[in-house]
Structures are given as structure tokens and as C-alpha cells.
Amino acid sequence: GQQVMQIPQYQHVQEGEDFTTYCNSSTTLSNIQWYKQRPGGHPVFLIQLVKSGEVKKQKRLTFQFGEAKKNSSLHITATQTTDVGTYFCAANSGYSTLTFGKGTMLLVSP
């Protein structure tokens, strides 16, 4: 099935610093989704990218899909303590099954 590698596994930043997590696949992806899971919570959908080279923004979050549709990134500008959580990328494999990356746990110190 589809596999996506996500790095880094963990990042600890000071509030106000930027943060980026990367997702890579050895095969071309039809689309990629990003989710955020707060500690003790469940994954919440952030965005889906479909087009080659696509860039989408949500306030301080910028999502990119590579030209070859094999990689994606999520960048947070000027992190806040509310950004704490684990960020997962996920790709469709098979009909509608989502395969999740291992996630990047973000810790933000005030």
C-alpha cells in the first residue's frame, strides 16, 4: 500500500519561531491530506492538496504539494502555544483508505 514518510518525528520550538514538517513518498500521490491531533484528542482535518505545485494557506499555516506530487510540507509561521499537537500527513491508498505518516509532534514553549 501507499507509504508516506514524515519528518521530523518531534520538534520543540520557542513561541514565535517557525515550524515545518515534511512528508515524502516514493510514488506519485493522487492527493495528500493534513491532520492535527491535540494531546488526548482525535485527528482533525486541516486541508487536502490535489494539484501539482499547489500552495494553500490558512492564516499562519502554509501547505505545499510538490511539483512531482511526491512530497508535501506544512509550515507554521510564528508558532503559538495553541499549535501544540501532532501533525499528520495522509495519502489515499486503494479506494478511499487513508495511510498516515508517523506524524510530527510539535511542542511550543511560551
Partner 1 sequence: GAVVSQHPSWVICKSGTSVKIECRSLDFQATTMFWYRQFPKQSLMLMATSNEGSKATYEQGVEKDKFLINHASLTLSTLTVTSAHPEDSSFYICSAPADRSWDYGYTFGSGTRLTVV
- Footprint of partner 1 (CB under 8 A): 31, 33, 35, 41-48, 50, 88, 90, 96-103, 105
Chain centroid to CA 107: 15
Q: How far is the CB of 18 from partner 1 (least distance, A)?
A: 23
Residue number with CB closer to partner 1 (35 or 65): 35
Closer residue to partner 1, CB minimum distance, 48 or 62 = 48
Of 66 and 103, the one with the shorter C-beta distance to partner 1 is 103
**DSSP string spanning 30-90?**
S-EEEEEE-TTS-EEEEEEE-STT-EEEETTEEEEE-TTSSEEEEEESS--GGG-EEEEEE
DSSP letter, residue 26: S
- Whole-number minimum distance, CB 78 to partner 1, in Å? 25
